[in-house]
C-alpha cells in the first residue's frame, strides 16, 4: 500500500511534468495561465483520494495517474472560473489567474483545462473507463449546478440550511466522491464498494466545505492562503451567515442586513462587526458540530467497506488531516 505522502509526491511530479509541457505549446497565451494555475500548488487532495481508492483494489497505481491528473486539472479549472465570479484577488497566497493575466485569459484557459482533463482521463487503460467517464461527466455537470445555486443565493436572504447543504454537496462534495469512486472503478472494484467510497466522499466533502466556511472567517490568513473574511465582504450565503440570519434577534438581524446592503464600507470594520454577531449567536460552535457530524458519517461509510482496516488506513489518515487542517 502506498502512503498519502508517497502518492502526493507522485501527483506533484506528474503535475509539474505535464505543466511544464504546456509552455511548449502554442499559443503560449492560452497555456501560460494553465501552467501558472497548476504551479500554484495546493493540497492535491482529489488526485490523492483517487489513487488511494485505486490502491485499495490494485497495486499498479501508476496506471491510474492520468485519471488523478484529470481530476486535479478539472478542479483547478473550476477555481479559475470561481475566482472570476467571486472577484477574488488571491489564491494560495498568489494573485489569481484573472488578476495576473486577464479575465478573458482565465475564462479561455479554464475552458481548455476542462477539455484537457478529459484528454488525460482517456489515457487510462481500464475495462471500466466508460463508467469512469460517465461518472466524471455527471460530476462536472453537478459542479456547474452547484455553482449556479451559489450564484442564485447571492440575491436571496431566505436561503435555508438544507438548500445550502445541497449546494455545497454539488459544488464541492461530489468531486471528492467522484475521485474516490472513479479510482475504485478503474481498479475494477465491485459496484457496492465503489458506491460506499462515493458515500464516504460525499460526507467527507460536506465536512470539508463547512470547515472551509469556518476558516474563511475564523482561520489564520497566513496559513489559509486567502484573505480572512472574504465570504463576509462578498455577502456569501455560508452556513455561518444563514444560521446567523435565522437565529438573530431583531436588532442583530437589522445590523447584519445593514452591512449586507451597504455598498461603500470599510472592509475591516464590516468583518469585525459581522464576526462579533457570529460570536454572540454561537454560529461557530454550531458549524463545528456539523463538521464533526458529517466527518463521523464519513468514517462510518469507510468502516462498512469490507476490506481490512490496515488497507484502509491511509484513507483514515488523510480524512483526519482534512478535518484538522488550518488551511
- Predicted confidence (pLDDT) per residue in 110-151, tens digit: 999 999 999 999 999 999 999 999 999 999 999 999 999 999
Taken in order of first residue, the domains within the chain and their CATH numbers are: 4-323 (1.10.600.10)
- Map residue 95 onto helix, strand or coil: strand
pLDDT in single tens digits along all 327 residues of the chain: 899 999 999 999 999 999 999 999 999 999 999 999 999 888 899 999 999 999 999 999 999 999 999 999 999 999 999 999 988 888 888 999 999 999 999 999 999 999 999 999 999 999 999 999 999 999 999 999 999 999 999 899 999 999 999 999 999 999 999 999 999 999 999 999 999 999 999 999 999 999 999 999 998 766 655 678 989 998 999 999 999 999 999 999 999 999 999 999 999 999 999 999 999 999 999 999 999 999 999 999 999 999 999 999 999 999 999 887 654
Measure the CA–CA gap between 193 and 305, rounded to whole angstroms: 6
Write down the pTM of the prediction. 0.94
Measure the CA–CA gap between 178 and 137, rounded to whole angstroms: 10
Measure the CA–CA gap between 81 and 33, rounded to whole angstroms: 12
* Distance, first Cα to last Cα, the chain: 27
Cβ atoms of residues 298 and 319 within 8 Å = yes
Question: What Å distances lie between residue 197 and 106, 149, 189, 193, 202, CA to CA?
Answer: 33, 26, 10, 6, 9
The C-alpha angle with vertex 39 and arms to 38 and 42, in degrees rounded to 5, equals 75
Q: Percentage of the chain with pLDDT > 70?
A: 97
Amino acid at each position: 500500500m502506498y502512503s498519502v505522502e508517497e502518492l502526493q509526491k507522485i501527483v506533484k511530479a506528474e503535475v509539474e511534468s505535464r505543466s511544464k509541457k504546456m509552455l511548449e505549446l502554442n499559443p503560449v497565451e492560452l497555456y501560460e495561465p494553465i501552467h501558472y494555475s497548476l504551479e500554484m500548488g495546493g493540497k492535491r487532495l482529489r488526485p490523492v483520494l483517487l489513487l488511494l481508492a485505486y490502491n485499495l483494489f490494485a497495486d499498479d497505481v501508476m496506471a491510474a495517474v492520468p485519471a488523478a491528473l484529470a481530476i486535479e486539472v478539472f478542479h483547478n479549472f473550476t477555481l479559475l472560473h470561481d475566482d472570476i465570479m467571486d472577484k477574488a484577488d488571491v489564491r494560495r497566497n498568489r494573485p489569481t489567474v484573472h488578476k495576473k493575466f486577464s479575465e478573458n485569459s482565465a475564462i479561455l484557459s479554464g475552458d481548455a483545462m476542462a477539455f484537457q482533463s478529459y484528454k488525460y482521463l482517456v489515457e487510462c487503460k481500464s475495462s471500466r473507463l466508460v463508467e469512469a467517464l460517465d461518472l466524471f461527466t455527471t460530476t462536472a455537470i453537478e459542479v456547474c449546478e452547484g455553482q449556479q445555486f451559489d450564484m442564485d443565493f447571492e440575491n436571496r436572504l431566505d436561503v435555508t440550511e438544507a438548500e445550502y447543504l445541497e449546494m455545497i454537496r454539488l459544488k464541492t462534495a461530489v468531486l471528492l466522491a467522484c475521485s474516490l469512486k472513479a479510482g475504485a472503478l478503474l481498479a475494477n472494484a465491485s459496484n457496492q464498494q465503489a458506491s460506499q467510497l462515493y458515500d464516504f466522499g460525499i460526507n467527507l466533502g460536506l465536512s470539508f466545505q463547512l470547515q472551509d466556511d469556518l476558516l474563511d472567517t475564523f482561520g489564520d490568513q497566513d496559513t489559509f492562503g486567502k484573505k480572512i473574511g472574504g465570504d463576509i465582504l462578498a455577502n456569501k450565503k455560508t452556513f455561518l451567515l444563514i444560521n446567523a440570519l435565522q437565529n438573530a434577534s431583531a436588532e442583530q438581524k437589522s445590523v447584519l442586513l445593514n452591512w449586507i446592503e451597504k455598498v461603500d464600507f470599510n472592509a475591516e470594520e464590516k468583518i469585525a462587526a459581522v464576526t462579533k454577531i457570529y460570536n454572540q449567536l454561537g454560529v461557530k460552535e454550531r458549524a463545528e458540530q456539523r463538521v464533526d457530524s458529517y466527518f463521523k458519517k464519513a468514517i462510518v461509510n469507510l468502516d462498512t467497506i469490507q476490506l481490512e482496516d490496515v488497507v484502509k488506513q491511509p484513507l483514515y489518515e488523510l480524512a483526519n488531516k482534512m478535518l484538522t487542517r488550518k488551511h
